[in-house]
């Protein structure tokens, strides 16, 4: 923790920002993960001038967010709730899915499209 002011100033200790990791994302419920994602989004929004290391970390954060939080699944959960059906999307952990339990990467449609796009871009860049 770091202090937000000098000694004797009555400063309140501010927790140091901790970047979200893939392992942590899989261990949190999606509701908890959403809180962490919002905090990290705020961090990146405030950040001025990204170093190469920062750019890599921001890409990793984006990958984690898009892999484990599906906009379509969130909308489906909201619709189910509105229509009187129970949805446990926000209470589940991304790491609890059968594919993840067997070491497989679970990608929603958006993440699959992003992966294909990224692979094609990498192939294109490698060919230049």
pLDDT digits (tens, 9 = 90+) for 71-127: 898 999 999 999 999 988 999 998 786 554 444 566 666 777 788 788 888 888 887
Asked if residue 121 lies in contact with residue 84, where contact means CB atoms within 8 angstroms, the answer is no
Among 89, 123, 91, 84, CA closest to 108: 89
Confidence check: pLDDT of 3 > 50: no
Tokens of 90: 């926000």
Q: Name residue, tokens 């929004």.
A: 45
Judged by phi (left if over 0) then psi (alpha if -120 to 50, else beta), residue 103 lies in left
Cα R_g (the chain), whole angstroms: 18
**pTM of the entire predicted model:** 0.61
Query: From CA 15, how far away is CA 62, in angstroms rounded?
Result: 22
Q: What is the mean pLDDT of the chain?
A: 81
Confidence bin at 8 (pLDDT 50/70/90) = low
């Amino acid at each position: 923790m770091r202090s937000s002011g000098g000694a004797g100033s009555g400063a309140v200790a501010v927790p140091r920002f901790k970047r979200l990791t893939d392992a942590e994302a899989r261990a949190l419920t999606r509701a908890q993960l959403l809180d962490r994602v919002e905090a990290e989004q705020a961090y990146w929004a405030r950040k001025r001038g990204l170093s190469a290391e920062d750019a890599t970390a921001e890409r990793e954060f984006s990958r984690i967010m898009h892999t484990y939080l599906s906009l379509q699944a969130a909308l489906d959960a909201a619709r189910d709730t509105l229509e009187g059906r129970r949805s446990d999307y926000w209470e589940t952990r991304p790491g609890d899915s059968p594919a993840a339990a067997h070491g497989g990467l679970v990608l929603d449609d958006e993440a699959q499209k992003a992966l294909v796009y990224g692979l094609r871009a990498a192939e294109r860049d490698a060919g230049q």
